[in-house]
Amino acid sequence: MNLDRRGLLGLLGAGATSACASAPATAPRPIAFRHGVASGDPDQTSAVFWTRVTPLDGAAGDIAVTLEVARDMAFQTVVIRSAGLAARSERDFTVKHDLNGRGLEPGQEYVYRFTAEGVTSPVGRVRTLPAGPTADVVLAVASCQLHPGGLFNAYEAMAGLERLDAVVHLGDYIYEYGADPDAYGMVTGAPLNRVPEPAHEIVSLADYRTRHAQYKADPDLQAAHARAAFICVWDDHEVANDSWRAGAANHQPETEGDFAQRKAAALRAYYEWMPIREPRAGALKAAVNRVFHFGDLATLIMVETRLLARTKPLSYADLSAGADGQPDIAAFRARLDDPSRELLGEDQRQWLGRELASSKAAGRAWQVLGNQVVTARVRGPDVERMMPADQIAGLLVTLPENVRAQVQASIQLFRLGLPFNLDSWDGYPAARERLYDIFREAGAEPIVLAGDSHAFWVNELHDAGGERRAVEFGVTAISSPSPGDFIRGLPLGQALVLANPEEVRLCDQTAKGFLLLTLTPTSARADLMAVSTILAKPFQVRTSVSAHLSRTPAGTKLQLLKS
């Protein structure tokens, strides 16, 4: 694969308007475009365009900005010129311009740039969504980019793709952790000099803004944003680990204040720094669920599973002992199966049902769900049945002490048939059945996309009655560590396939990369794109597995082709 960034980050032209001849000459304010450009949320005739202007003089005054959208890289045919924009200190000097459904033509690629104070930004590319008959759609899917975890090589590979209509980002765009030697990811971050900014765990608005700025300064991430529009939704780390509607596992009110204030600061910074449409008037800030139609071929529905309705996740620390001193599995499962436990909430679920039914009624071949966490039923593997006791002991000895304790506890819990990850849909089984009911009522068998897990997945999703309701493609991390990274002596992905043959067709718990989804009227192909390393350059990228879905009158068939 050609990894050339195709000159997307080069500066093209001066583009600034000249002052009136009768006006006194004034020196331009010193500025720079240090964080690249981005576009997002495309529709048939518009998109959202973003940049950040860095004032080099440290002053707080507004900076006038112009956006140009053109048909050619030389900007000889400019179709949009918006000169009334401003980078304001109250929005951290970010600029976001929404064309609001006007100005562009369907299914066309455009280039764009910003100018301010005589300085021209890098150039970006954006493709509007098609209208009418559509032969194919190509989407990259990404998730989980821990800056200290490693280099963003997957984004360099993504930026070099010949064909890319949009990037679907399923969350964990930033992480909240600090730079202590034992902080998450610092075992790689320190030697790579990828140290979090600020150095402490982020809590305030200024903290979140600084962390977003650090991520957007990464050249590989800038290249991917310049290559295609992003369609994003957050997961938990944009606020704090394992967040839910009223708290997070990584939030301590006694030292970090009110969670609602932290969440408000995190979402404000997110809307400032991401090329995403602002919430509708009167809508909750957390209502980031929205829909995108790709001609007559596909509908992409982005849902929100964190901050709108999610009830507090259970953890295995909640597993109490029964009268016999053994873990009370029945009581724990009763709590897990409580019908009141929610992920989407009733309002969002009904909205999802309407969008699915509308897409089916319009004759679109594919309904794609952009969802943050793994949906499949995944029991933890019974390691004691897979390996002899002395081999398990030898494996445990090789692990760091803190990881060893977690693995030992997991081995005992998974022997009892408990779920692998309670933060996924497995922690909300009644809510998952309600989701499947929505699929059934709409007459849809969607493709479900999942992030969060730092692993590649190909899953067939069945309801409690055993009926297949969807196929799930899970994307691994761009750079965040995977469970399999710590226990190389155990093929964890294969163990999960063996433990869940009815649901899990493939699981890779060590690869890093992205997913490339290609849709046609009769087929869907998910190419699992793995990079050879996240610790150095150069690197290679390869298709580790291709999952093919074919639609025939007899039904939908799933086939795996390994490289």
H-state helical runs in 217-294: 219-227, 253-256, 259-273
Higher pLDDT, 87 or 326: 87
Question: Looking at residue 425, what DSSP letter applies?
Answer: G
- The DSSP annotation for 272-325 comes to HHSS-PPPPTT--TT---EEEEETTTEEEEE---SSSSPPPPP-GGG--B-TTS
Give pLDDT tens digits for 143-179. Answer: 999 999 999 999 999 999 999 999 999 999 999 999 9
Give the pLDDT of residue 25: 62
Reported as a pLDDT band with limits 50, 70 and 90, residue 229 is: very high
Q: Is the pLDDT of residue 355 over 90?
A: yes
With beta carbons less than 8 A apart as the criterion, state whether 464 and 457 touch: no
Give pLDDT tens digits for 178-228. Answer: 999 999 999 999 999 999 999 999 999 999 999 999 999 999 999 999 999
Give pLDDT tens digits for 295-313. Answer: 999 999 999 999 999 999 9
With beta carbons less than 8 A apart as the criterion, state whether 416 and 475 touch: no
Q: Is the pLDDT of residue 245 over 60?
A: yes
33-55 average pLDDT score: 98
Reported as a pLDDT band with limits 50, 70 and 90, residue 401 is: confident
- pTM, rounded to two decimals: 0.94
Reported as a pLDDT band with limits 50, 70 and 90, residue 14 is: very low
- The dihedral built from the CA positions of residue 487, 489, 494 and 496, taken in this order, carries a sign that is negative
268-275 average pLDDT score: 98
